């Protein structure tokens, strides 16, 4: 008897697993990152643009959240967060209108106004051009 070929669980129109993996930057943890409860982006996102490197890349923290970039959904919230630290006084707040193709977002941290954004590999590479000065 000839063994039948393995049946693919991939649905028509869905990217293959290898394509999904390559969608995210290489520094993302391989397990459950981005988190399953993060939602697709369809927002204007504001961030204090001190760096485009995550805490994980800077080796300041570990885990999936550390692979994300902090952001806010309102300019006022980003400005209020910037005002908390003197070293951010001269750091610009930048804004981008992002969509599903750019990644996912989730409210994180103690403040209900703080969010984490997991940008796709392509969006992260384009981040300095995607985000424009908001202040």
User: How large a percentage of the chain has pLDDT more than 90?
Assistant: 81
Q: What is the pLDDT of residues 88-125, one digit of tens each?
A: 999 999 999 999 999 999 999 999 999 999 999 999 99
* Element counts in the chain: helices (H) and strands (E): 3, 7
Confidence (pTM): 0.82
Identify the CATH number of the domain in which residue 55 sits. 3.20.170
Query: What's residue 5's pLDDT?
Result: 40
Residue 28 counted as domain residue: no
Query: Which tokens is 119 given?
Result: 């940008």
- Structural domains counted in the chain: 1
Within a domain: 1:
no
Task: Give the closest residue to 72 by CA, choosing from 54, 56, 96.
Answer: 96
pLDDT tens by residue, 73-90: 999 999 999 999 999 999
Residue 49 lies in a domain: yes
Domain contains 80: yes
Domain that holds residue 124: 38-133
Residue 55 lies in a domain: yes
The answer as to whether 109 is a domain residue is yes
Residue 16 belongs to a domain = no
């Amino acid at each position: 008897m000839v063994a039948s070929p393995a049946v693919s669980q991939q649905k028509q129109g869905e990217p293959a697993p290898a394509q999904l993996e390559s969608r995210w930057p290489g520094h993302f943890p391989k397990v459950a990152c981005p988190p399953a409860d993060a939602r697709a982006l369809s927002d204007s996102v504001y961030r204090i643009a001190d760096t485009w490197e995550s805490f994980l890349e800077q080796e300041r923290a570990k885990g999936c959240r550390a692979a994300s970039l902090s952001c806010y959904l309102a300019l006022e919230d980003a400005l209020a967060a910037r005002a908390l630290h003197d070293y951010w006084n001269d750091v610009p707040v930048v804004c981008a209108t992002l969509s599903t193709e750019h990644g996912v977002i989730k409210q994180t941290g103690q403040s209900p106004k703080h969010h984490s954004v997991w940008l796709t590999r392509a969006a992260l590479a384009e981040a300095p051009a995607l985000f424009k000065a908001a202040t």
